[in-house]
Amino acid sequence: MAETFVPDPSERINKRLPMPYAAQFPDIIKRNYGKWVDRKFHGNGIIEHISESGESIFTVKVGLPPNSRISVDTLKKIIDVADSYGLKVVRATRGMNVEFITDSLDKAKKIVDVMKGYGFPAGGWENSLWHITSCTAYLTCSTFAVDAPSITKALYDYFMPYFTGEEKLPSKLDIFVSGCTNICAGTLAGDIVVVGHWGQAPKPDPEKIKFCLPTSAEALKKVTPDVAAVCPVNAIKLYAKEDGSVGIEVDDKRCIACGRCKNVCDYFDWDPDKIGVGVFVGGKTSNTGSGPRLAYRIVPWVPLNPPEYREVVAVVRKIVDVWKKNAEPGERIGDTIDRIGLEEFMRQVGVPKSRHNACIEVSWNFGVRQFIKYV
Ligand code: SF4
Ligand code: SF4
């Protein structure tokens, strides 16, 4: 029988990061590395990890502002809390929360209280809202269609009791908010995914743009203007007109409204009233239940009314209500949709089915299930 390989974290050589990652482990983690055998939820964002040695550590998950942007002052407070009550380490999570680790339930509760005092709630375990992950959009990005962090804030304001655990959900809930169809918030495989889009193909302004185009059909053969070159789906067509000048048009059927042309050309017009978000439901990356899958687009367009974004919040709230009403215990939204049927789910949400929200179900049949077949 082959000898079992037991990794020694201190021997791992990481050539990319500036230091061996194991150097930052607290002693209790080094002692119990790979020996965790159980876990226990204590509410309030606290989870206990129990080792076969009998030792325990406690993780406290705390929500951060949208896109996890925090000031140096806040960072100092977090460091102070980790230093005073924790094991002097923190972890930034994939869901844009921060996790403290400590070695007693009392200290974990203290971390919850102190962070709450600073305005940062703890939560996000078990059957609750685990996170609302937001891309940067207005904060730093140049291709946004909508202000994803502000929409995230509006959603968090309403759904906070689901994060803290005051209100229970049938299962875990992940929400992602992206400012445009590039979907940098992480995935289209979330329980609920809100995606900003322009809601239209752009319209070139022929009078202004003509000064930037090649001056003749001959010149057009030698150069492709940037505005056409950036289009990922070749929707921007340049053509020679009868009078020898060059024309430009956008093929509405090809355009995916990504907004890249907007980055390089000011002479493309966009109607601001058509900008909105689409809402996708029922995806997940986990291999539990029915396995990983992309979400269904069930609401193609929701208008934007900052700062409360009431329409967006109302749609997400309705989806959660329908899920709560129909779900069996432990069932993620996608599995509830599978059981009752997509059309029935949409009927209860109150969205008529149309060609705009035709199912974009993608067979995403990989993960462990895929590999098991070949073992
Ligand atoms: S999803 Fe769009 S708006 Fe958000 S960061 Fe990515 S490119 Fe920018
Ligand atoms: S919005 Fe995107 S897809 Fe549409 S024309 Fe511009 S670059 Fe092309």
Mean pLDDT is highest, among 135-144, 152-161, 227-236, for: 152-161
Mean pLDDT of 361-370: 47
Element (H, E) at 115: helix 105-117
Ligand 2 atom nearest to CA at 236 = 5
Q: Which ligand is nearest to the CA of 253?
A: 2
CB 21 within 8 A of CB 8: no
Q: Which ligand is nearest to the CA of 248?
A: 2
Domain assignments of the chain as residue spans, ordered by start: 9-61+72-117, 126-199+274-372, 203-269
Q: Is 43 helix (H, G, I), strand (E, B) or coil?
A: coil
DSSP H helical segments within 118-200, as ranges?
Answer: 148-164
Residues ≥6 apart with Cβ < 8 Å to 240:
216, 217, 220, 246, 247
Determine the straight-line distance between the first and last CA of the chain, rounded to whole angstroms.
19
- Provide the 8-state DSSP code for 19: S
Q: In 73-126, where do the E strands start and end?
A: 90-92, 97-102
Residue 162 has pLDDT above 50, yes or no: yes
Sign of CA dihedral 210, 214, 220, 223: negative
Q: pLDDT exceeding 90 applies to what percent of the chain?
A: 55
What amino acid occupies position 165? G
CA distances from 153 to 100, 112, 133, 177, 298 (A): 23, 21, 10, 10, 22
Q: At 276, phi and psi to the nearest 5?
A: -165, -160
Looking at residue 3, its pLDDT comes to: 60
Confidence of residue 245 (pLDDT cuts 50, 70, 90): confident
Q: List, in order, residues 6 or more apart from 268 with CB less than 8 Å away.
A: 202, 203, 204, 205, 209, 227, 250, 261, 262
Distance 181 CA to ligand 1 centre (A): 7
**CA–CA distance from 163 to each of 38, 71, 123, 173, 323 (Å)?**
23, 23, 5, 9, 16
> How confident is the model over 254-307, as pLDDT tens digits?
887 878 888 888 888 888 888 999 999 999 888 877 778 888 888 988 999 999
What is the chain's percent helix, strand, coil content, to nearest 5? Answer: 35, 20, 45
> DSSP states of 200-245 as a string?
S--EE-HHHHGGGS-SSHHHHHH---HHHHT-TT--EEEEE-TTS-
pLDDT at residue 366, rounded to an integer: 46
Mutate to test the pocket of ligand 1, among 67, 68, 136 (most ligand atoms within 8 A of CB): 136
CB distance 182 to ligand 1 below 6 Å? yes
CATH number of the domain located at residue range(s) 203-269 in this protein: 3.30.70.20
Q: In angstroms, rounded to a whole number, what is the distance separating the alpha carbons of residues 344 and 351?
A: 10
Q: Is 136 in the pocket of ligand 1 (CB under 6 A)?
A: yes
Residue 45 to residue 176: CA distance in whole angstroms: 20
Fold for domain 9-61+72-117?
Alpha-Beta Plaits (3.30.70)
Least trusted range by pLDDT, from 166-175, 192-201, 226-235, 337-346: 226-235
Average pLDDT of the chain is 87
The CATH code of domain 126-199+274-372 reads 3.30.413.10
> Which amino acid belongs to residue 24?
Q
Cα of 188 vs centre of ligand 1, distance in Å, is 13
Provide the total of helices (H) and of strands (E) in the chain, helices listed first.
12, 14
CA-based torsion, 206, 210, 216, 218: positive or negative: negative
Confidence of residue 367 (pLDDT cuts 50, 70, 90): very low
Q: How long, in residues, is the chain? A: 375
Task: Please state the atom number of ligand 2 nearest to the C-alpha of residue 233.
Answer: 3
Angle at 259 between CA 247 and CA 219, to 5 degrees: 30
The tokens for 326 are 């129909």
195 within ligand 1 shell (Cβ under 6 A): no
Per CATH, 126-199+274-372 and 203-269 having the same topology is answered: no
Ligand 1 atom closest to Cα of residue 195? 1
27 Cα: distance to centroid of ligand 1 (angstroms): 40
| pLDDT for res 118 | 96
Q: Does the pLDDT of residue 372 top 60, yes or no?
A: no
Q: Is the peptide bond before 66 cis (omega within 30 degrees of 0)?
A: no
- The H-or-E segment that residue 312 falls in is helix 310-326
